[in-house]
Amino acid sequence: MTTLQLRNIVKRYKSQTVLDDLTLDVADGERLVLFGPSGAGKTVLLRLVAGVIEPDEGRVLIGGEDMTDVDAEHRGVGMAFQNFALFPHMSAFDNIASPLTATKSSKEKIAAGVQKVAKLLKIDHVLTHHPKALSNGQKQRTALARALVGSPPLLLLDDPLRNVDAKLRFEMRLELPRLLAAQGATVVYVTQDYKEAMALGDRIAVMAAGRIRQIGTPQEIYNAPADIEIGRLFGDPTINLLDVTPQRGGGDVFVELSNVRVRLADYGADVVGSPCVLGLRPEAISFVDAAAPGAIPVTVEAETPLNEKTVTLALTARGREILVSRPAGTPGPTAGPAHIAVNGMQAFLFDKTSGALLPRADLAAKRNGEAA
Amino acid sequence: MASTETLRRPVSGFRISRKMLPYVLSLPALLVCIGILIPFFTAVIYSFQRYRLSQPWARQFNWGENYLNFITDPAFWNTLKVSLLYAGLTVTLELLLGLGIALLLQRRSTVNNFISIMLLLPLMIAPALAALMWKLMTNPSFGILSYLASLIGLHDFRWASSPDTALLTVVLVDIWVYTPFIMILLLAGLRSLPTQPFEAAALDGVPRSFVFFRITLPMLTPYILTATLFRLLDSIQQFDIIYAMTQGGPGNTLTVFQVEAYLNFFQSTNVGRSAALLIILWAITYTLSNVFIKNWLRLRERARGEA
Amino acid sequence: MDTMSPLERVLRGLALTLVVVFFMFPIFWIFLMSFQTNETILAIPPSIVFSPTLSNYAALITGKLQTAAGTLDIAFMRNLGNSIFLSVASVAVALVLGVPAAYAFARHKFKGSEDIAFTLLSFRFAPPLLVLLPLTQYFQWLGLSNTYFGLIWVYQLICLPLILWIVRGYFEDISADVEYAYRIAGHSWFATFRKIALPLAGPGIAAAGLLAFIFAWNNFVFALVLASADKQPVTVGALAFVTSSGIQYGQIAAAIVLSVTPTLALALYAQRYLVEGLSLGAVKG
């Protein structure tokens, strides 16, 4: 186990800035997920840590030691590539053994090490095969085994599940956390899949355009996305986003949806009157009786059963689309008129122009107090 | 002593810094080539000198005189004319012939693939030896081609020994050697073309001539350009075939640039004129090769992209 | 495309036959000549029916020619040996120098790398005599004229650009990630070059080497300018051979056959790579 510190990293390709003054700390034994769209600079960042590309500015510290000018082979990290990057002219055994041969271990030690990790990843029966003869899943496990075999204190995983089929990805998503925990290494894991990020990360760093936009635990990011974009990236079905203008009435802040007031208890008076976007997770909305307080009339358009939940698309009176999610198996309307209620405690407001999450009242009040 | 030396050496052994590595790797190749670049500059200097090997004492700079003399020198204009004629004739004929053969062999079949490999053989024969082969075949007393010519009424056809047919003969040898080059490039180009436009045209019943001129040719253009420029660069510098066949003769019928420069240097020992001729040839090829390299790079990028 | 009329089929067949005859006949004819004596060669009309003789080859290999005027020594085998030595050594040197440089150009887009690569490529297109003629004088000063060392050096003009450009393409085709993976696994750049890059580019390096060999073998002008009789390869030697008196035509033909056989055999062996090599990687075969 070891720590990783990145200090003011800048990387440019020609005139394009790929990493823009990026600073990041990964704690000892932590699993940090780098999440973001393609082109965000995640892979570049990982390669920079591995030492196969150099930053234009900034320092890379591994275990507190400045490794910026140290060659890749002396950094002692393990890495799995998105495209596997297996050595096509070597057997799976030799592929996995490559980090051990570099240390000049004895033949027996190497064989034992390879066998152990191969068994763990269930590829011990294909060790004599060349990559060409391996299935995609086996290739992926071989690449993973190669990264794990030397028990590196820092493990870099570049979207290792990207190029495998859905079934395998599902299996591995369950298997990987256990595997990584057993390894005990500090892990930086790159992915574009929010479920993978939520399942694997102690913390998630959301990257876009060469910067870290938000960093926090999966819950923090899910429950308080720093801006609309991040809110949209996390969550399936995606978050409902509705243009609203908060108003004040009876000491409360509320927004009107189809002329029905939805109270936003968490927000203070500072948001009143400014154009906002209301973010509602589909699970923050539920179907209710017409008589229930705060019931909003809608028309149910379609229903999609997913594995563990049922998602319903409804239209408000003004024709705005709303996604509603409920646990699978619970009753709900399938078509026609219905009513929904919104849990105002789970709603968030974004500034319409900047897209940034607006601070909740308690925080805002605190800040106002400090300023006063 | 030796053992302490080894012990003291750093564990990592010698390490070349990351930035230096590419230079270190390419340096030996560069050094070898730089040794060859020096004569190039020497040649430039020679071309501005009055320099005859037979009169080394009279060697002096005469600046542009070698070049200025060319303007009134019929031998130079003959060299330029013959060189351009030779290059123009060979490249045009080889292009037409090569394209035709490539079209005949376009469809992938065992027979076609076999023929295309067989046709490559002339290209793999040294041009000087190819010239020798044709010399044997055009020998007036026993050459098979002279015999065949006599069968169609051309008695005493002199081939390369007559000023009237010498150019024709060497062009024929050049065609024999180099048409396969154009053929094989265009064949690779033809076979790499996407099939959809052709299938669509066939379905719509578009006439074949239209398909050829409006689809095949435009799509093949980059390949044709690359092959043509490649050949043009070689052809304007042709030496081996002409020298081996006729040594530039009879008379001065075939004194193309390099042959003329060679004869100037070794026979008339006029180094200055020889160098000036070569510099002019170099200027021509340099211009051509710049055009060529641009086009060739595009094609190369595309080939890498498809791989 | 599959709707060819019978007439078209016949015309195409006819055209192809003509093409094959034109390009194959000279090889075939010279091959036949090499097994003939002067009497059958000079016979009119020429005939392809004759009793073959190996005397031409025997004369070349023993180096002794029996003529009416007596015994004549011919150095053809020496020329053949020179060709083999010059080509093999030139290719070996070009590989040792060119492969690391090609790797540097493919992997590291360092400052000026493209310019250097193009300068090397431009040798391929410059008039060889431009360099050769002044070089004769330099070689005299350096004591390199008529030495194998000098010739092999000049042969780099042909071999090095060829190897550099073809092998560079093969190195570029190797995924950089594969090499990165080996570095990260703890191996030095040199180990990575040796264990990953070289084996993966192996077929390309072999093909480039074969092509460079063919080009070196077929070269004429370098040795014509720089080598005397004892260092001359077959291309120059065979030409001198023609003008020597008392020679038999069948022996010239046999010398040609012996001279072209190595390159033809290699070309057939490496034909898969020829297109790419001939176009310096611009067209994939």
Domains defined along chain A, listed by start: 4-225 (3.40.50.300), 236-371 (2.40.50.140)
Distance CA(C143)–CA(C271), nearest Å, equals 40
Average pLDDT in the B87-96 region?
Answer: 95
Closest CA to A123 of A148, A98, A136, A141: A141
In this structure, whether the domain defined by B73-306 belongs to CATH 3.50.50.60 is answered with no
DSSP code per residue over B284-300: HHHHHHHHHHHHHHHHH
Average pLDDT in the B226-232 region?
Answer: 87
With 50 as the cut, is the pLDDT of residue B9 above it?
A: no
| CB-CB under 8 Å, C196 with A85 | no
> How high is the pLDDT of residue A365?
52
Instruction: Specify whether the CB–CB gap between A188 and A46 falls below 8 A.
Output: yes
**Which range has the worst mean pLDDT, A148-152, A282-286, B15-19, C105-109?**
B15-19
Which residue on chain C is closest to B135 by alpha carbon?
Answer: C242
> How high is the pLDDT of residue B205?
82
Each as own residue / partner, the long-range contacts of residues B106-115 (CB below 8 Å, 24 or more positions apart, any chain) are B106/B187, B106/B190, B106/B191, B107/C1, B108/B191, B115/C16, B115/C19, B115/C20
> How high is the pLDDT of residue B11?
37
C residues 48-87 lying closer than 8 A (beta carbon) to B? none
Which residue on chain A is closest to B16 by alpha carbon?
Answer: A71
Instruction: Specify whether the CB–CB gap between A29 and A213 falls below 8 A.
Output: no
| H-run or E-run covering A69 | none
Instruction: Specify whether the CB–CB gap between A78 and A42 falls below 8 A.
Output: no
Which of A44, A71, A73 has the highest number of chain C CBs within 10 A, making it the mutation to test binding with C? A73
pLDDT digits (tens, 9 = 90+) for C81-97: 999 999 999 999 999 99
> How high is the pLDDT of residue B17?
66
CB atoms inside a 10 Å sphere around CB C110: 17
Q: Taking each helix axis from N to C terminus, what angle separates A92-101 and A136-148, rounded to the nearest 10 degrees?
A: 10
Is pTM beyond 0.95? Reply is: no
With 70 as the cut, is the pLDDT of residue B186 above it?
A: yes
> How high is the pLDDT of residue C68?
63
> How high is the pLDDT of residue B13?
40
Instruction: Specify whether the CB–CB gap between A235 and A306 falls below 8 A.
Output: no
> How high is the pLDDT of residue B91?
95
Distance CA(A118)–CA(A146), nearest Å, equals 9
ipTM of the complex: 0.88
- Minimal Cα–Cα distance from B231 to chain A, Å? 36
pLDDT, mean over chain B = 83
Portion of chain B with pLDDT greater than 70, in percent? 93
* DSSP percent split of chain A into helix, strand, coil, nearest 5: 30, 35, 35
> How high is the pLDDT of residue C82?
92
Pairing of strands A186-191, A154-158: parallel
pLDDT, mean over chain C = 85
DSSP code per residue over B79-98: HHHHHHHHHHHHHHHHHHHH
> How high is the pLDDT of residue A368?
52
Higher-pLDDT residue of B17, C136: C136
Closest CA to B236 of B130, B89, B69: B89
Which of C133, C156, C175, C187 has the highest number of chain B CBs within 10 A, making it the mutation to test binding with B? C133
Per-residue confidence in pLDDT tens, chain A, 372 aa: 578 999 998 998 888 888 888 899 999 989 999 998 888 888 999 999 998 888 899 999 998 888 888 888 888 899 999 889 999 999 999 999 999 988 888 889 999 999 988 988 888 899 999 999 998 889 989 999 999 998 888 999 998 888 778 888 888 888 888 888 888 889 999 998 888 888 888 999 999 888 899 999 998 898 888 989 888 888 888 899 988 888 887 778 888 888 888 888 778 778 888 899 999 988 889 888 888 888 888 999 888 888 788 889 988 888 888 899 888 888 888 888 888 988 877 888 898 888 888 887 665 554 454 444
Average pLDDT in the C188-195 region?
Answer: 91
Distance CA(C251)–CA(C36), nearest Å, equals 9
Which residue on chain A is closest to C182 by alpha carbon?
Answer: A98
Tell me the chain A residues in contact with residue B15 when contact means C-beta distances shorter than 8 Å: 71
Q: Which residues of C touch A (CB under 8 A)?
A: 175, 177-178, 180-189, 191, 196, 199-200
> How high is the pLDDT of residue A251?
75
Domains defined along chain C, listed by start: 6-73 (no CATH), 76-278 (1.10.3720.10)
Cα–chain-centroid distance for residue A159?
A: 11
| CB-CB under 8 Å, C242 with B275 | no
Distance CA(A141)–CA(A84), nearest Å, equals 9
> How high is the pLDDT of residue A180?
84
Residue-wise burial string across A221-252, b where 16 or more C-beta atoms lie within 10 A, e elsewhere: bbeebbbbbbbebbbebebbebebebeeeeee
| CB-CB under 8 Å, A102 with C181 | no
DSSP code per residue over A71-102: -GGGS-EEEE-TT----TTS-HHHHHHHHHHT
Higher-pLDDT residue of C65, C201: C201
> How high is the pLDDT of residue A217?
92
DSSP code per residue over B197-221: HHHHHHHTT--HHHHIIIIIHHHHH
Distance CA(B44)–CA(B33), nearest Å, equals 18
C residues 90-149 lying closer than 8 A (beta carbon) to B? 96-98, 100-101, 103-105, 107-108, 110, 113, 116, 118-123, 125-135, 137-138
Name the amino acid, one letter, at C90. S
> How high is the pLDDT of residue B47?
86
User: Which of B28, B136, B202 has its CB closest to that of C253?
Assistant: B136
Which residue on chain A is closest to B15 by alpha carbon?
Answer: A71
| CB-CB under 8 Å, A78 with C184 | yes
User: In the beta sheet, which residues pair with residue A12?
Assistant: A17
> How high is the pLDDT of residue A94?
93
Report the sign of the C-alpha dihedral through residues B172, B173, B177, B178, in that order.
negative
Instruction: Specify whether the CB–CB gap between B224 and B216 falls below 8 A.
Output: no
Distance CA(A174)–CA(A141), nearest Å, equals 14
Average pLDDT in the B238-247 region?
Answer: 91
> How high is the pLDDT of residue B302?
73
Is some CB atom of chain C closer than 8 A to the CB atom of B30? yes
**Which range has the worst mean pLDDT, A205-214, A282-291, C43-52, C200-209?**
C43-52
